[in-house]
Amino acid sequence: MEVEGITTFSDPPTTSYRYALKLENDKLSIWMEDRTTKKQWYTGAMAKADYVTSANSVTDASAGDYLKCFQDALDGELDETGDIQRTLEFRTGGGLRLSFSVKFRVLRSVRVAKYTFKLDSVSVERIDVLESKLRDLQEELEKGGKVHPVKFTTSKKNGSILRWSPIVVREFASTSLDGDVQITREGIYNIAVIVNLACHNQNQIVQLLKNDELIQMVYAPYTGYCTSVSLNTTERLEKNDKLTLKCDCNLSGTSDLTITRLGN
């Protein structure tokens, strides 16, 4: 048995955590991930006796019943008057203390059972971080209505730098003065570029840069006629990052830069 989901421990704005509860051979494991920093914590191979005592046991409850109870605690609303509460504390050394408080009502009496788990910090490989970011992107896309592309256009250059139309939105801004598009909200972005141009020399290139460092490059076709080239990439962008597009060729008509924020 395995369940997963997303939870928080205080009202927004706050850090959200991805969690997974797994029961294998009656041994419980708990995994958690900070969805912003991608830090992860884990505890596993817990027999029922490791978290159930005489003070919090429920008559005839199986390990699977406890797992479902903990899932309900993580998925429930943050309501101090509710029957199920959850708390998260940071321990010395980077670990976590995850606690659940569950009210059981029998006839006219109320009994409160408390369960506490100590999760240790685990090292995260780069590929694990990438997979986590992809999961976040997929979730954002599945929500629908959350993705809003913004298109910048231009037919002008300053030297080799394209000067985009002035736009100011929540995620980024362009003044058209220097050709930079400044990011004002960190997150995962898709960047799509179409440059209409006319090249009259070989080995002329179009470059997409972030903070003056190359992200992607394409050679413009040397045809002697008007044509177009495109670039497309998905990048993690931080607040105050700057995107710039350089083109060695002459522009022909209007070129487009479309930026879409996909998620955190």
85 - beta bridge partners? 101
Q: Is 13 exposed, middle or buried (0-12, 13-18, 19+ CB in 10 A)?
A: exposed
Q: Report yes or no on 141 lying in a domain.
A: no
Domain that holds residue 157: 148-263
- The reported pLDDT for the residue numbered 176 is 59
Last residue of a domain, one of 61, 92, 124: 124
Rounded (10°) CA dihedral 49, 124, 93, 12 = -90
Regions of the chain where pLDDT drops below 50: none
102 and 152 belong to one structural domain? no
Q: What is the pLDDT of residues 88-130, one digit of tens each?
A: 999 888 899 999 998 887 777 788 899 999 999 988 765 566 5
Residues 68 and 16 in one domain: yes
Residue among 246, 243, 247 nearest 259 (CA): 243
How far is it, in rounded angstroms, from Cα 35 to Cα 30? 16
**pLDDT given for residue 137 in this prediction:** 63
Q: Which amino acid is at 73?
A: A
Cα–Cα distance between 152 and 252 in angstroms, integer? 16
Q: Is residue 129 part of a domain?
A: no
Q: Give the full edge-to-edge strand order of the sheet including 40-46.
A: 2-8, 16-24, 27-34, 40-46, 109-122, 96-106, 84-90
Instruction: State whether 14 and 120 are in the same domain.
Output: yes
Tell me, yes or no, whether 116 and 171 share the same domain. no
Q: Give me the number of domains the chain comprises.
A: 2
Question: Residue 215 corresponds to which tokens in the numbers above?
Answer: 């992200």
CA distances from 126 to 34, 39, 188, 241 (A): 15, 11, 16, 22
CATH number at residue 205: 2.60.120.40
Note the pLDDT tens digit of each residue in 173-203. Answer: 776 567 888 888 888 888 999 898 888 788 8
Reduced to 3 states (helix: H, G, I; strand: E, B; else coil), residue 155 is: coil
